[in-house]
């Protein structure tokens, strides 16, 4: 669960970094992809956590 929270915080941090600073369009795309990747990983781990918890 801690790892999930860390990934969600990392995704939020990356999104804030995009909004707080000026970046080139390619840099924004890269940061958004990275943020979404962290978010997907956190969701996947959370789903696994819930599945294991219910078994």
**Domain ranges for the chain:** 2-54
In tens, the pLDDT along 1-13 reads 788 888 888 888 8
Residue 54 has pLDDT above 70, yes or no: yes
Place of tokens 């000026």: 22
**Rounded-to-integer distance, Cα 32 and Cα 6, Å:** 17
In tens, the pLDDT along 28-44 reads 788 889 999 989 999 99
């Amino acid at each position: 669960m801690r790892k999930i929270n860390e990934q969600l915080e990392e995704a939020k941090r990356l999104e804030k970094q995009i909004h707080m600073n000026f970046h080139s369009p390619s840099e924004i795309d890269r940061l958004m992809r990275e943020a979404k990747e962290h978010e997907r990983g956190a969701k996947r781990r959370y789903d696994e956590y819930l599945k294991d918890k219910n078994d």
